[in-house]
Amino acid sequence: MSTITANSDKPAASLTQGHKKVIFASSLGTVFEWYDFYLYGSLAAIIAKQFFSGLNDTSAFIFALLAFAAGFAVRPFGAIFFGRIGDMIGRKYTFLVTIVIMGLSTFLVGILPNYASIGFAAPAILIFLRLLQGLALGGEYGGAATYVAEHAPHGKRGLYTSFIQTTATIGLFLSLLVILGVRTYLGTEAFEAWGWRIPFLLSIILLGVSVWIRLQLNESPLFQQMKAEGKTSKAPITESFFTKNGKIVLLALLGGTAGQAVVWYAGQFYAMYFLTQSLKVDATTTWLLIAAALAIGTPFFIFFGWLSDKIGRKKIVMAGCLIAALTYFPLFKALTHYANPAIAEASTNAPAVVHADPDTCSFQFDPVGKKVFTNSCDIATAALAKAGVPYTIAAAPAGTVAKVTVGSVEVAGYEGAGLSKEDSKAKGDAFTGELKAALKAGSYPEKADDARINKPMVLVVLTILVIYVTMVYGPIAAWLVELFPTRIRYTSMSLPYHIGNGWFGGFLPTIAFALVAATGNMYYGLWYPIVIALMTFVIGSLFLRETKDVDITQ
């Protein structure tokens, strides 16, 4: 086993073999956890067909996104539960438990019967497994980051923990490569029918490797020393949130992790959804472009972690939030220009308009998935938003059933309230079919023309977005670790991290989709990450301290 003494305030000249083993073991296990978690996000469209086939296409996709978000919603509860255990019992054994829960939950998704086989039990069990994944991930990150930071010498924590920060991106990268490889080998039809299960089933191998490696490690030296001295916390939750430390937790959330989260998810996940759902770029092309951008950008996690040891964590994270907020609109418009310019051309020549009573048009966001949007306006706007079609809403008299015009072609809408499941699906399919015909007549592309995609320029834009991610995410672990004392560090840093990333970040695709559906502006969803990033820039700049010179042994 690797044995390393507690932190010294003297900087180390280079990584020792013991330090490398700690970083590798912690990072590798976390890569596998993120791989497991992101399989679902990358396969959301296929999962919608497999587990929510009792709904029309638009509703199925929305529910699939909500099931994805459910895993993020429970992450703070996992942070509290496992953080408390980590501060009382130890870092090592806590994140051994989390990785086992994560791996088994993912494997079970791979063998779960679909809706056609067991009906509503399928999506119910799927959501339960997503909740288990979220709980496990809530405990994993804080443990891994704390464990590495408490092994790192003073002056190197930004560099050491930056390796942990690469794991989410590498996990996403690995999941995309496995999906792409299986899809290419089996063919699209077989992959969508049953081959999508293979990447989930492979997680059992990754789980075995991760557990074996982590079993080779010792407990964190700082925790061992604190435990030997009898200084461990007896009530880490109370000490973390119901003392003056609670104010720092709140500031770390609003002035640090909230903005970091929306920049992170906008730059990777929302960019992927925007390309596939709004711009109709082929999934394989999108995955290859995203994977290439991640490959180019990932070393910058290490760079900005190293740089934060020199100039500070706060400056880099704040700069990333501000630059992202100021440039998102031109960057995403550039994606449209280079990936599918035909959308803008069709919108000019045959504008899509929803004619509806404005009072019946809802903001279609329901984080718990209990509300069904059945008004004719909601049905029409959701269908257009999912189709990636920009539109406007024209006021109609009260009581009017919404209709859609595409240029000179009119499509009648319908009210979904009170319909049986069969009638709702039949009417939804008929409406979708008529709408697709109208959009085709208006020259709206069903998918992006591969010959017109300027792939080098799309890659440039995606790489810029990934570099923004590395600016805010590379230094954040060291910053959070240094904000809190050892006795309550696991609990204290985990909660703001997972509320920020689980709630502010995890709900980004669903909130952005709802904003687009409410306005018809395909870029309107960007206002959510922009506003949150600016909030974090202001609060973090004014109220959070720089921590790079803090001695965490004290």
Helix (H, G, I), strand (E, B) or coil at 410: strand
- Is residue 162 within a helix (H) or strand (E), and if so which, with residue range? helix 157-186
The mean pLDDT of 147-151, rounded to a whole number, is: 78
Q: Is 264 exposed, middle or buried (0-12, 13-18, 19+ CB in 10 A)?
A: buried
Q: Which two tokens stand for residue 33?
A: 């956890």
SS (H, E, C) 339-365: HCCHHHHHHHHCCEEEEECHHHCCCCC
| pTM of the full structure | 0.81
Highest mean pLDDT among 103-112, 367-376, 487-496: 103-112
Strand partners, 352: 391, 406
Q: What's the pLDDT score for residue 421? A: 77
Write the pLDDT tens digit of every residue in 476-515: 999 998 998 877 887 888 889 888 887 898 788 878 878 8
Highest mean pLDDT among 148-162, 206-220, 538-552: 538-552
Phi, psi of 275, rounded to the nearest 5 degrees: -65, -45
Write the pLDDT tens digit of every residue in 395-423: 999 888 999 999 999 999 999 888 887 88
Tell me how far apart the alpha carbons of residues 398 and 477 are, in angstroms, rounded to a whole number. 53
Helix (H, G, I), strand (E, B) or coil at 405: strand
Q: Helices 508-519 and 376-386 meet at what angle, rounded to 10?
A: 110
Where residue 85 falls among pLDDT bands split at 50, 70, 90? confident
Domains in the chain, ordered, with CATH?
17-339+451-543 (1.20.1250.20), 344-441 (3.40.30)
Give the residue carrying structure tokens 């679902």: 40
Q: What's the pLDDT score for residue 296? A: 94
Tell me the Cα Rg of the chain. 24
Helix (H, G, I), strand (E, B) or coil at 60: helix
Answer whether 304's CB lies under 8 Å from 474's CB.
yes
The mean pLDDT of 523-546, rounded to a whole number, is: 96
Q: Helices 245-252 and 489-499 meet at what angle, rounded to 10?
A: 30
Q: What's the pLDDT score for residue 369? A: 53
Write the pLDDT tens digit of every residue in 263-286: 999 998 899 889 988 899 998 899
Percentage of the chain beyond pLDDT 90 is 33
Q: Which of 32-36, 105-109, 280-284 has the lowest mean pLDDT?
A: 32-36
The per-type count for the chain, helices as H runs and strands as E runs, is 27, 4
- Is residue 393 within a helix (H) or strand (E), and if so which, with residue range? strand 391-395
Q: Which residue has the higher pLDDT, 492 or 68?
A: 492
Helix (H, G, I), strand (E, B) or coil at 482: helix
Helix, strand, coil shares of the chain, percent, nearest 5, are 75, 5, 25
pLDDT of residue 227 exceeding 70:
no
Question: Edge-to-edge strands of the sheet including 391-395?
Answer: 391-395, 352-356, 403-406, 409-412
Give the residue carrying structure tokens 């934060």: 308
Taking the alpha carbons of 305, 311, 312, 314 in that order, is the dihedral positive or negative?
negative
Q: What's the pLDDT score for residue 19? A: 58
SS (H, E, C) 288-325: HHHHHHHHHHCHHHHHHHHHHHHHCHHHHHHHHHHHHH
Q: Which of 86-90, 131-135, 371-375, 391-395 has the lowest mean pLDDT?
A: 86-90
Q: What's the pLDDT score for residue 368? A: 52
Answer whether 172's CB lies under 8 Å from 294's CB.
yes
Q: What's the pLDDT score for residue 54? A: 66
